[in-house]
Amino acid sequence: MALINDPRKLFAYKLGTVLSGEKKILTMLKKLEKRAQREELKQQFRHHREETEGQIENIEQAFKALGEKATGRTNPVIMGLSEQADVLYDKTDDEILDTVLLGGAAETEHVEIALYEDLITQARGMGEQQVVSLLQQNLEQEQHTLEEVKRASEQLAQRSGRQPSAVGSAPDAAGFSDTGRE
Ligand SMILES: [Fe+2]
Ligand SMILES: [Fe+2]
């Protein structure tokens, strides 16, 4: 198999992993919106889903600016986050589900931020200013979303910390007793 030895080709490949990742995240956000118990969270996830649609367009624009075809590439990290989130959703009672949804959203935002930061560094190095500004828009939305998610998570933790546990005394009753992959 021929190895990639051109930094621009490598960049396009990594951009493709982010394109696939964002498409997967779009479906994750639809699920988050549907499963969220609190109306303000539903709205928050809906808003970020709309932003994500724009982010996908920005990535496609970035491919265009590079003169490359927009091609999605496998993104095992985002796939894994999605898989893990699904496992947890199925195990969690609706009453405390919002905490799980926010935790998963924060993990995903951290990964997205890391991906965009790296791509922006590389694009700047290649002198691709248009690509830098397109990806910068996406990065700022992810950073803003992470702050909102953290704030909501903090508020929820404060509130639930003052209430008696909804789970009960037997930890295994919550279904978290498994040790391996299902
Ligand atoms: Fe995103
Ligand atoms: Fe995001």
Which tens digits make up the pLDDT trace of 38-97?
999 999 999 999 999 999 999 999 999 999 999 999 999 999 999 999 999 999 999 999
Output the DSSP codes for 47-114.
HHHHHHHHHHHHHHHHHHHHT--------HHHHHHHHHHHHHHHHS-GGGHHHHHHHHHHHHHHHHHH
pLDDT tens figures, 137-180: 999 999 999 999 999 999 999 988 776 554 444 444 444 455 44
Residue 170 placed within a domain = no
* C-alpha span between 72 and 86 (Å, rounded): 23
pLDDT band per the 50, 70, 90 thresholds, residue 2: confident
Residue 171 placed within a domain = no
Domain membership of residue 126 as a residue range = 7-160
CA angle (72, 75, 22) in 5-degree steps: 65
* C-alpha span between 19 and 16 (Å, rounded): 5
**What pLDDT is stored for residue 154 in this prediction?**
96
* C-alpha span between 114 and 132 (Å, rounded): 15
Residue 152 placed within a domain = yes
Q: In this model, does residue 116 exceed pLDDT 90? A: yes
What percentage of residues in the chain have a pLDDT greater than 70?
89
Q: In this model, does residue 101 exceed pLDDT 60? A: yes
**What pLDDT is stored for residue 27 in this prediction?**
97
Could you tell me how far CA 69 lies from the centroid of its own chain?
24
Integer CA distances (angstroms), 22 to 28, 100, 160, in order: 9, 20, 32
Q: How many domains does the chain have?
A: 1
**What pLDDT is stored for residue 164 in this prediction?**
55
Distance 52 CA to ligand 1 centre (A): 5
Task: Give the ligand with the smallest distance to the CA of 142.
Answer: 2
Residue 50 placed within a domain = yes
CATH number reported for the structural domain that contains residue 135 in this entry: 1.20.1260.10
Distance 55 CA to ligand 1 centre (A): 6
Distance 1 CA to ligand 1 centre (A): 31
List CB-based neighbours of ion ligand 1 within 5 Å. 22, 52, 55, 112
Burial state string for 65-99 with b = 16 or more CB within 10 A and e = fewer than 16: bbebebebeebebbeebbeebeebbeebeeeebbb
Residues 120, 124, 125, 130, CA torsion sign? positive
Distance 137 CA to ligand 1 centre (A): 10
Residue 182 placed within a domain = no
* C-alpha span between 22 and 138 (Å, rounded): 11
Q: In this model, does residue 115 exceed pLDDT 60? A: yes
List CB-based neighbours of ion ligand 2 within 5 Å. 112, 142
Distance 162 CA to ligand 2 centre (A): 30
Q: 129: how many CB neighbours lie within 10 A of its CB? A: 11
- Between 181 and 41, name the one with better pLDDT: 41
Distance 106 CA to ligand 2 centre (A): 9
Distance 140 CA to ligand 1 centre (A): 10
The pLDDT of 96-112, averaged and rounded, is 97
**What pLDDT is stored for residue 160 in this prediction?**
81
Distance 164 CA to ligand 1 centre (A): 36
Distance 22 CA to ligand 1 centre (A): 5
Distance 77 CA to ligand 1 centre (A): 14
Residue 1 placed within a domain = no
Task: Give the ligand with the smallest distance to the CA of 143.
Answer: 2
**What pLDDT is stored for residue 166 in this prediction?**
45
Taking alpha carbons only, the member of 111, 85, 113, 84 closest to residue 29 is 85
Residue 100 placed within a domain = yes
Q: In this model, does residue 182 exceed pLDDT 80? A: no
Q: 143: how many CB neighbours lie within 10 A of its CB? A: 15
Taking alpha carbons only, the member of 28, 18, 70 closest to residue 48 is 28
**What pLDDT is stored for residue 178 in this prediction?**
53
Residue 103 placed within a domain = yes
